[in-house]
Amino acid sequence: MIYKRLLISILSISLIVLNGCRMTVSLTGGDVDPRATTVYVQTFRNNASLVNPTLSNEFTNALKDKIQGQTPLTIINTKNGDYTLEGEISGYSINPVAIQGDETAAMNRLTITVNVRFTNRFDENKNFEQSFSRYADYSSNQNFTSIESNLVSEINEALSEDIFNKAFVNW
């Protein structure tokens, strides 16, 4: 009888304690303010000296896709969102990276650099302006025009991940 009362008391206390505890889990580790519902993503102009004519739209769309896939935020077309991402593509370059004995490049590197300004309407301490850069290497005996689209997609995905993590994840 005493054990039964003790067991009931322990279970009751456990239920009260567990009911008072609240835990939230985010699959992305995101830190989106619960009051936030919108984000404005400006089309990133291509100001690089070497211009890929589709890069501006491709990068902007990759960033929007990342945000839509990882947050509950709605992307809006006006600058008065709860969050704002603006900037420009400041670099698009191809450089040799693996020089052989005959002074020819065995590998080349495509590098894309993006300058980003992030504004958080709810917490100005999380605002930032930062340059992000990513690259992809490819064999110099490949025709660049035939692989450029895949390289750009790979780099855009990595840049979007970096920018998303800086803006929405506290890593």
The conformational region for residue 92 under phi > 0 = left, psi -120 to 50 = alpha, else beta, is: beta
Q: What is the pLDDT along the chain (171 residues), one digit of tens a residue?
A: 665 555 455 555 654 544 444 333 344 446 789 999 999 999 999 999 999 999 999 999 999 999 999 999 999 999 999 999 999 999 999 999 877 767 777 899 999 999 999 999 999 999 999 999 999 999 999 999 999 999 999 999 999 999 999 999 965
User: Taken in order 154, 82, 126, 48, is the CA torsion positive or negative?
Assistant: positive
Fold of domain 31-168: Double Stranded RNA Binding Domain (3.30.160)
- Has this prediction a pTM greater than 0.85? no
12-37 exposure pattern, b = at least 16 Cβ within 10 A, e = fewer: eeeeeeeeeeeeeeeeeebebeeebe
Map out the domains of the chain as residue ranges: 31-168
Paired sense of beta strands 83-99 and 105-120, if any: antiparallel
Mean pLDDT estimate for the chain: 86
Contact 78, 87 (CB under 8 A): no
For 87-119, the pLDDT digits (tens) are 999 999 999 987 776 777 789 999 999 999 999
The tokens for 125 are: 């301490």
Distances (CA, A) of 1 to 4, 9, 11, 13, 112: 5, 12, 15, 18, 74
